[in-house]
Structure 1
Amino acid sequence: MTGRSAPAVLPPSLRVWLGLFAALAALAVVALGVLYAGHSRPGMVDARISAAVEGVRPPWRNVALATDFWGEPAGVAMLVVAAVAGCLLLRRPRAAVLVVAGVGMTVATSTLLKSLVGRTIHGDNLSYPSGHTAFATALALVVALLAAGRLGLGRTAGTLLVLAVALVAGAAMGWAQAALGAHYPTDVLGGWCTALTVIPATAWLVDRMADWLVDRMADAARRERR
């Protein structure tokens, strides 16, 4: 007999499609990393996009700075605590675990990739992929997965919701990073794809581990009753 302690954080109906998008995102992360490894200048696409968005003035610069704050340590801590508290209030412990584990793994992966790729901006500042964008996208993905599960959305609607929320969050933080000149636009894309790779994989692992623990507890309970 198999027990379930809580609803899956990665709805079964979304596993195949999100797994496919995660695989494609991983390929994009690797491709961009190889393309810009060791570079210290923007590529052609970067230059064109940066020319259009960089150097914004108030009030848009203030918006960009406010958005950027939520990717800084203080903002990250506030958002993570709020997200964990919200998941627990909604009685979704697996989602709370995913907030910590998924977001943590995403940030750790982006940090590791920065050292491996070695792309720099403004001197020796490692830039690929954008950690701010990866964080914002990762947290948005967790929230979207929670919403899709609670609403009982099917494969198409659920996948569209998750991708749309991730796109909005990634675009907002990515715009702020490019507008402030903190990252090249392709760094932003790399950060978005990093989150899209890590979160579905981590969600699947959280579900597997939770189910395994529930099964072990159920087996122990049965042995005690004998």
Structure 2
Amino acid sequence: MGHDPPVTAENRGPTGRGGRPTGRPAPTALPPALRGRLGTIAVLAALVVAALGVLYAGDSEPGGADARIVTAVYGVGPSWRHVALALDFLGEPVGSAALVTAVVTGCLLLRRPRTAVLVVAGAGLAVGTATLLKSLVGRTIHGDNLSYPSGHTAFATTLALAMALAAAGRPGLGRPAGTSLVLAAALAAGAAMGWAEVALGAHYPTDVLGGWCTALAVVPTTAWLVDRAADRVADRRRPHGRAADAGRRERR
């Protein structure tokens, strides 16, 4: 009788009828090949968030770089203002709830339950972290409106990161290509939402950078925790299924 191969996070797959493994690898929220690089990026992003928070704590005026960018971006024409308002709506409670629901539904249809959990948990943690930092930093815009970091930018970047991580985990996609895909998606989403927030006068550009880095720090960590929790649940369930399979083989 041959020995069964050890069960690892790489070959543990979803189960079919009777608890038997289907043989398909379980899609992870954080691709193993990218863990090291994204972990380093998460640490660097957290340092940027902290540094900007210290630099602009208690401020109510734009910095030098902020002023130059705001001059170029603020006050867009009517057509572009409609685009900015539409993007901004996606970060508001109603728009964000609809967007999360749509993305989670797509993940479940594609049998990516861990990514679905990451979307919900990551968005909640990223926006929650941004909200907490706003109170701690105390930077304001247009009076008493807390501005650092941008929660809208953190939210948009989080969704882009979660979906890009799912795509980067596909077999055959190498580590450099996967990392580039994740960072490109994060940059595109952060730039689009950040432009909208600055164009509408809701945030300073450095608020946007802080929100982008908040997502880069939170999402890889959350994805790793989602995988750890899912692996532990699978490990607790698997011995019963393996014992049942062994019993069925002995009765044959």
Give TM-score, length-normalised by structure 2: 0.86
Amino acid at match of 2:121: A
Corresponding residue for residue 125 of structure 2: 105
Corresponding residue for residue 164 of structure 2: 144
Corresponding residue for residue 250 of structure 2: none
Amino acid at match of 2:205: P
Amino acid at match of 2:87: T
Q: How does 1:23-172 map to 2 (within 5 A)?
A: 23-150=43-170, 152-172=172-192
Residue deviations 1:36-68, cap 9 Å, x none?
A: 011111111111110110111211111111111
> Shift of the alpha carbon at 1:150?
2.9
Q: Secondary structure at the match of 1:7?
A: coil
Corresponding residue for residue 228 of structure 2: 208
Distance 1:151 1:64, change over 3 A: farther
Q: Secondary structure at the match of 2:61?
A: coil
Residue deviations 1:147-172, cap 9 Å, x none?
A: 11135411100000000010000000
Structure 1 residue runs without a partner (length 5+): none
* Equivalent-residue separation in structure 2 for 1:155 and 1:118 (angstroms): 39
Amino acid at match of 1:94: R
Query: Bigger relative contact order, structure 1 or 2, given CA contacts below 8 A and separation 6+?
Result: 1
Corresponding residue for residue 207 of structure 2: 187
Amino acid at match of 1:73: P
Structure 2 residue runs without a partner (length 5+): 1-5, 15-25, 248-252
Distance 1:97 1:108, change over 3 A: same
> Shift of the alpha carbon at 1:94?
0.5
* Equivalent-residue separation in structure 2 for 1:48 and 1:222 (angstroms): 64
Identity of aligned residues (%): 71
* Equivalent-residue separation in structure 2 for 1:154 and 1:135 (angstroms): 27
Larger Rg: 2
Q: Secondary structure at the match of 1:153?
A: coil
Q: Secondary structure at the match of 1:30?
A: helix
Amino acid at match of 2:39: G
* Equivalent-residue separation in structure 1 for 2:129 and 2:173 (angstroms): 30
Q: Is the 8 A contact 1:134 1:195 kept in 2?
A: yes
Distance 1:145 1:165, change over 3 A: same
Task: Indicate the RMSD between aligned Cα atoms, in angstroms.
Answer: 1.4
Distance 1:152 1:146, change over 3 A: farther
Give TM-score, length-normalised by structure 1: 0.96
Distance 1:151 1:61, change over 3 A: farther
> Shift of the alpha carbon at 1:222?
4.9
Q: Is the 8 A contact 1:38 1:120 kept in 2?
A: yes
